[in-house]
Amino acid sequence: MIDHFLLGGELPVRRLGYGTAQLTGPGYWGPRGPAADMTAVLRRAVERGVTLIDTAENYGPWIAEELVAEALHPYPSDLVIATKGGVVRTGPDTRRIDGRPATVRAMCEASLRRLRTDRIDLYQLHRLDPEVPLADQLGTLAELRAEGKIRYAGLDTVTAEDLTRALALDLVPIASVQNRYNLLDRASDELLKLCERHGIAFLPWFPLGNGVLTEDPVCARIARAHDATPGQIALAWLLHHSPALCPTPGTGTLAHLEENLDAGAVRLGAQEMAELDGLSSAG
């Protein structure tokens, strides 16, 4: 199992990263708890060797990015910060998509200020806006890249067809995609294969299935054999399943963080992988 991925074909990141959504309150709205507790989790993630932190403008909104800067700035030289724009958070579990060039640019520049950096390592469109031509949305990312404000561009919640269109436009190199993907939900298999062919990182969101997959008896049995938790097996499966998968599980507690990161040490055998492969509800 390969532990690192070359983002953009040149920037190494450890494949098991950390996502910041759980640093905010229910529905990604407001704070989860005391800022000191949340920054402690971020600092511990980096102490454990995490080199990919995934955040977003609308987590909070703004709160997650601010916590990243408070906890980790000045950033270690090998730390890659990924953030997202193009979605406006309007309340708990409510948001609207806005991919207009002026909006995306303003969001990116605000993220630069909150993250206290001159360049964002990986800037991703949180959703594609169906009301805005794809060329306009990607063109904005290309402009931001040309200006040195972002290093790499990515897309969130897209289809294989979307990615194919983006690659064909060839306006800006696509370094990553983020889609829902986990042990039980593999609806994005076609997209994953496309990422593998083009050297694009696939950052699966809900890598633990929002807790559902930990109830699976096969997963639980394999976990017992490794003296691990079902969640650790689910993360280990992702790391074994494809070298393009770079899960960034999120949590707001130190204990859960340690559990998630320990999954990187789990080595699954061929028979175990075959059993876990057979669990997919997506066919």
Residue by residue, DSSP assigns 120-189 as EEEEEESS--TTS-HHHHHHHHHHHHHTTSEEEEEEES--HHHHHHHHHHTSS-EEEEEEE--SS--TTH
- List CB contacts of 182: < 8 A, sequence separation 6 or more: 204, 206, 207, 208, 209, 213, 234, 238
Q: Is residue 271 part of a domain?
A: no
Q: Is residue 114 part of a domain?
A: yes
Give the phi and the psi of residue 170 in degrees, each rounded to 5.
55, 40
* Both structure tokens of 158: 């897209």
Question: What element of type H or E holds 126?
Answer: none
Q: Which is it for strands 150-156 and 120-125: parallel, antiparallel or unpaired? A: parallel
Q: Is residue 268 part of a domain?
A: no
Contact between residue 155 and residue 177 where contact means Cβ atoms under 8 Å apart: yes
Q: Is residue 99 part of a domain?
A: yes
Active-site pick, 18, 28, 59, 181: 59
pLDDT along the chain (283 residues), means of 10: 93 98 97 97 98 98 98 98 97 97 98 98 98 98 98 98 98 97 94 98 89 78 96 96 97 97 97 92 47
pLDDT of residue 212: 66
pLDDT of residue 210: 66
pLDDT of residue 283: 41
Number of domains in the chain: 1
pTM of the model: 0.96
pLDDT of residue 248: 97
* 59 belongs to the catalytic site: yes
Residue 159: give the domain boundaries: 4-210+242-251
The 8-class DSSP code of residue 75 comes to: P
Provide the CATH number for the domain around residue 52: 3.20.20.100
Only one residue has tokens 């309007």, namely 90
pLDDT of residue 134: 98
Q: Is residue 260 part of a domain?
A: no
Q: Is residue 66 part of a domain?
A: yes
Q: Is residue 256 part of a domain?
A: no
Q: Is residue 265 part of a domain?
A: no
